[in-house]
Structure 1
Amino acid sequence: MFKVRKDLSVNRIATALEPLGSVEVARTRNAKTQYFDTFDWRLFDAGFSVCAGLGIEGSEIHLLDNTNCTTLATISGQLATGFASDFPNSKMRNNIERVIDMRRLLPRLTIFSQRVLFTVRDKEGKGIFGAVLEKSRAQRPKGGRTIALGTFLTLKPVKGYAKAGARAHGMLENDVALTLLDKPLQFDAFEALDIKPGDYSSKLKLQLDPAMTMLDAVRTVHLTLLETMERNEIGTAENIDPEFLHDFRVAIRRTRSALSQLDKGVLSSALITKAKRDFQWISQKTNQMRDLDVYLIDFPSLQAPLPDPYKGYLQPFRNYLEVRNQKESKRVAAMVTGERYRNIRF
């Protein structure tokens, strides 16, 4: 993909390509492309992107390599749930599942484009080269204002017509100022929208200064754990995927450990006693749902040893687990949004 002047006209490109053959210019079409990643940016950290959209090629899902700006795989269709199970059994699914595991892919960015498709045909009417001109704007997944990213030209060589592709590239380079993008377009969009990939990790990241007082250090630990809890509250309440509750409970467990091991002599005994009781209550309220999540995550391994004709006999058990999970999810959501939870302070 190349960045070009924002005022580059369709006619200018068509004229530049005319020496190659007959140039067909399709009408302008609007396209919407959504980029997906897990809450903790697992694809980004692994150097991949997944995008889906309805454009000139129809409804497609792409797996992209962010390192060299290439498309690794493409399938037709749309993301239904965001889990790896949305993808047909294939190398593409294996690559995605290996990275995201049980996490759900969530919308991270939307790019809107106005696209014009160029097709160059030889004297026999065969398509020998293609190009797409698009003006793009970016938007956060929940909406709001859009930000212009620029105008871009994508060259689409046709298999078996490498010489025509090379000639077309040279013609456009001579007539149109082409600036090769050195990073994926979505990276520019993230920057324009102040979206910071990798801004959340389940790993505990603390910045403690040796010069800190013990009180300041304890405060830093608890505020860091509180932020993890708060960032996972919505995902836990909405049961988006099991890792939200898992990370939420890990923060609770670490908080309880800090209350027992770090806070003595720093915080008052009465405050520690109350906080221990409150966080034990949260842990107990979420035990059942976490157990059910684990059963559902491990269900394929429970089913795997059975001969194929008997695997279906476990399906009623899975249905039971799913119904129980939905009920527990509602209880946990009520807890997270309830008055007692909201009034916990120490």
Structure 2
Amino acid sequence: MQMPLSFEFPSHLTAEAFIAQLDNKTNLQLLSKHDCHRTYYDSFDWRLYSAGISCELTQSKTSSLLALINLNDGRNLVTTELADVPVFAKDFPDDTLQQHLAPILEMRALLPICTLNFKDIQLNILNDDQKIVVRLAIEEFEQLTDRLLVYPVKGYDKASEHLIETLISPPFELTAIKHSLLPAALQLNGRKAYDYSSKLNIDLAPELRADIACKYLYSHLLNTIKANEKGVITDLDSEFLHDFRVAVRRTRSGLSQLKGVLPNNISARFRDFFSWLGQITGPTRDLDVHLLNFEHYKNSLPESIREDLNPLHDFLLNTQKKTHQELAKKLRSDKYINTLADWELYLKEPSNKQPTEANAQLNIKELADHRIWKMFNRVLKEGQDITRYSPPEDLHELRKTCKKLRYLLEFFQSLYPEEQIKYLIKNLKNLQEVLGDFQDYSVQESNLRVFSEEMITLNTPANTFLAMGVLIQELDTRKYHARRHFTARFSEFASTETQQAFATLFANNKPHRKHL
């Protein structure tokens, strides 16, 4: 069957009236009329929508079809019979669906985002020989404009062309459309595309008082924590915990770096709380990373021993389940629920008109300039002190300092020219990449040694330990190369051009008050 052409009914024309009028002009055959339920799917962070794809499962008593639709031109990319939608792209039985979805969704779960109910009316147009020349389908909605889908039949192009001329002319006056119903379905369901994003899109006015701006910033991060909370507890996919942890780290970093803004007792209490949250979520995230990397682990080994690594996957999966259960229990605890509620309550309280904290009355631009410039110089000093003989701990400390600088740049990016701040963030990301690789390989190598000790008591085959030994050597080699790349990456970051760019944006703006 060829791709359908889509048309929208005018508001005054009902499906019943359309069928009656078309029956007068053609040899129309009514095939069936069914109640249908359509569910739209996407990841929690709208990856398919961002890629211009709508994933739609349409079900009736007689069929269940999954379709991928191009949101820009309405083209049907893939259609297949499917009773249930798997959670992950890799679990789809259809290879074509996997090929479309896996590169976009990656590790994210496919979740229902909205639904539509409608009546599906199937019709045929016959010629004088009682042969089908055009197939039609009407989608009749209660709250949306009805649609007509025209399916041309091979060998009867003229019949389709004649029908289309009829449809767009009086009395029908249908309108050709090339868009999906997804935006309208979202609106009907009270949803909005991109109603969740882990990105920091915070628009701050430069003259805003520092304490008010920081509370606004922390409120945004709290929303991210709360949005991901359910997904973390139910372990829908690993990215819920990732985004949860990033928001926690950003909050803790803000409380640590932006001192003299909130009352000391508030900062101390919640800094400790978010530090605790970072600690309790760490083990599960580490195991998630190992599981996400497992196929890469296998592919890095000689082909003859790859399957010997499979018991490690079973061990990681079982350990992750146990660790996650412990984490979920803590996220249901009174400590977590009550302290987070107290934090939200504090953030919603009106700020003092005359705060006494040293930096609270600075405008946020003054505070941002000072803190970013200071942290940038700290990154330069720590990086310049690192030599080929420096211990791994020095690179780890620099990585943490870079992360603090990155958070500050992202917190306050709206205060600076977009092109310039993006250039600085990009340069910093390049340095962070090599530092992150070095740290990740170190942690994974260390964890694998611990896992091998724990697996000894589990009747693990000897060949698995040999494969793990080869993997540890591979990670050690990668760590060595990351260390070698550091010098070049840091030199790029610490270039005269980058230093001048930081100085231009942050160094020449003196605060009006001297509390900083």
Same fold, judged at TM 0.5 (above): yes
Which of the numbers 158, 168, 178 marks the counterpart of 1:173? 168
From the superposition, tell whether residues 10 and 158 of structure 1 become closer, same or farther in structure 2 (CA, over 3 Å).
farther
Tell me the equivalent position of 1:37.
42
Which of the numbers 207, 211, 215 marks the counterpart of 1:211? 207
Distance 2:322 2:59 in 1: 36
Post-superposition shift, 1:322?
1.6
Stretches of structure 2 that go unaligned for 5 or more consecutive residues are 1-5, 344-516
Name the SS for the 2:86 alignment partner.
Answer: coil
Matched, 1:83 2:88: yes
Distance 1:343 1:60 in 2: 45
Which of the numbers 257, 260, 269 marks the counterpart of 1:265? 260
Residues 72, 178 of structure 2: 8 Å contact kept: no
Which of the numbers 226, 231, 235 marks the counterpart of 1:235? 231
Tell me the equivalent position of 2:334.
339
Which of the numbers 56, 72, 75 marks the counterpart of 1:70? 75
Residues 31, 123 of structure 2: 8 Å contact kept: yes
Higher relative contact order (CA 8 A, sep 6+): 1
Q: Which moved more, 1:106-115 or 1:7-16?
A: 7-16
Deviations 1:100-121 (A, max 9, x none): 1111111011111111111123
Tell me the equivalent position of 2:320.
325
Matched, 1:93 2:98: yes
Distance 2:94 2:297 in 1: 20
Which of the numbers 245, 249, 255 marks the counterpart of 1:253? 249
Residues 14, 118 of structure 1: 8 Å contact kept: no
Tell me the equivalent position of 2:358.
none
* Length, aligned pairs only: 334
Superposition CA RMSD, Å: 2.3
From the superposition, tell whether residues 246 and 305 of structure 1 become closer, same or farther in structure 2 (CA, over 3 Å).
same
Post-superposition shift, 1:260?
1.2
Distance 2:304 2:128 in 1: 59
Matched, 1:244 2:225: no
Partner AA of 1:165 in structure 2: S
Which of the numbers 159, 182, 187 marks the counterpart of 1:186? 182
Post-superposition shift, 1:18?
6.3
Deviations 1:249-307 (A, max 9, x none): 00111111101111x11123333222222111111111111011111111111122456
Distance 2:94 2:138 in 1: 34
Post-superposition shift, 1:231?
0.6
Post-superposition shift, 1:343?
1.9
Q: How is 1:55-134 mapped onto 2 (pairs within 5 angstroms)?
A: 55=60, 58-88=63-93, 90-134=95-139
Partner AA of 1:74 in structure 2: T
Tell me the equivalent position of 1:8.
14
Tell me the equivalent position of 1:144.
none
From the superposition, tell whether residues 151 and 166 of structure 1 become closer, same or farther in structure 2 (CA, over 3 Å).
same
From the superposition, tell whether residues 3 and 195 of structure 1 become closer, same or farther in structure 2 (CA, over 3 Å).
same
Tell me the equivalent position of 1:314.
309
Deviations 1:80-127 (A, max 9, x none): 432111324634422322211111111011111111111123344432
Q: Which moved more, 1:334-343 or 1:241-250?
A: 334-343
Larger proportion of strand: 1
Post-superposition shift, 1:210?
1.2
Distance 2:298 2:94 in 1: 18
Residues 32, 123 of structure 2: 8 Å contact kept: no
Distance 1:308 1:168 in 2: 59
Distance 1:260 1:196 in 2: 35
Larger proportion of helix: 2
Distance 2:85 2:33 in 1: 28
Tell me the equivalent position of 1:48.
53
Distance 2:280 2:336 in 1: 11
Post-superposition shift, 1:27?
2.7
Distance 2:138 2:229 in 1: 42
Residues 17, 171 of structure 1: 8 Å contact kept: no
Partner AA of 1:16 in structure 2: L
Partner AA of 2:294 in structure 1: F
Stretches of structure 1 that go unaligned for 5 or more consecutive residues are 138-147
Name the SS for the 1:26 alignment partner.
Answer: strand
Residues 39, 113 of structure 2: 8 Å contact kept: yes
Distance 1:255 1:183 in 2: 40
Distance 1:292 1:114 in 2: 47
From the superposition, tell whether residues 81 and 308 of structure 1 become closer, same or farther in structure 2 (CA, over 3 Å).
farther
Deviations 1:21-48 (A, max 9, x none): x432023111111101111111111211
Residues 17, 172 of structure 1: 8 Å contact kept: no
Partner AA of 1:220 in structure 2: Y
Distance 2:99 2:167 in 1: 39
Distance 2:189 2:177 in 1: 18
Name the SS for the 1:111 alignment partner.
Answer: strand
Partner AA of 1:113 in structure 2: F
Name the SS for the 1:201 alignment partner.
Answer: coil
Of structures 1 and 2, the larger Rg is shown by 2
Q: What TM-score does the superposition give when structure 1 sets the normalisation length?
A: 0.89
Partner AA of 1:107 in structure 2: P
Q: What TM-score does the superposition give when structure 2 sets the normalisation length?
A: 0.61
